[in-house]
Amino acid sequence: MQQIYKKMEKTFESIRDTDRIWVYQANRILSEEESTYIKKSGMLFVSGWAAHGKPLRADVLVIRNLFVVVMVDEAQAKASGCSIDKSVSWINAIGQELRIDFLDRMQIAWLDDNGSLQINPMAEFETLASNGQIESDTLVFNNLVFSGKELKNSWLVPANESWHNRFLVK
């Protein structure tokens, strides 16, 4: 588990604690080619992204060939409703182009005992939890994080420290 966190620390080096974060999870593992394409498309998108005419300092990461993380340095300029809508339109368009659903919030990503990434529909995740295959210390991805600090500290957490705890056998 320590190794997992070390890898994540390296990934998060460019993220400021105050950055505004949006995590989009694919409904399947992406190929390397898809991840590279999404990263390039994301960089092109954020290079012209603005809020009320003011350019946003932003970045896009593809993590573990599953998660697309969009981040904005809100110390420089805050994302507005319209600019957020544009980012959702971009993720939706790239998803349609590649036939990937990034907006299905009913898919849960977690790590099994071997540290392998798993994705299950919420109902299946609940069944796995009731059967004891998902336990309180099972690492889950909490895609509801809002800031760079939360992404670093509260994104990959034991199930009992996240909203996922409602599925755990008590």
Model pLDDT for residues 20-49, shown as the tens digit of each residue: 999 999 999 999 999 999 999 999 999 888
pTM score: 0.89
**CA nearest 41: which of 82, 81, 100, 109?**
100
Which structure tokens are listed for 121? 């529909």
- Measured between alpha carbons, how far is 98 from 64 in angstroms, rounded to an integer? 17
- Measured between alpha carbons, how far is 160 from 162 in angstroms, rounded to an integer? 6
Which structure tokens are listed for 117? 């990434």
Q: How confident is the model at residue 11 (pLDDT cuts 50, 70, 90)?
A: low
- By three-state DSSP, how is residue 55 classified? strand
Residues 6+ apart with CB under 8 A from 102: 24, 25, 26, 27, 68, 91, 92, 94, 95
CA distances from 23 to 67, 85, 125, 134, 170 (A): 7, 14, 20, 23, 29
What DSSP character marks residue 132? T
Model pLDDT for residues 46-102, shown as the tens digit of each residue: 988 888 888 888 899 999 999 999 999 887 878 888 888 999 999 999 999 999 999
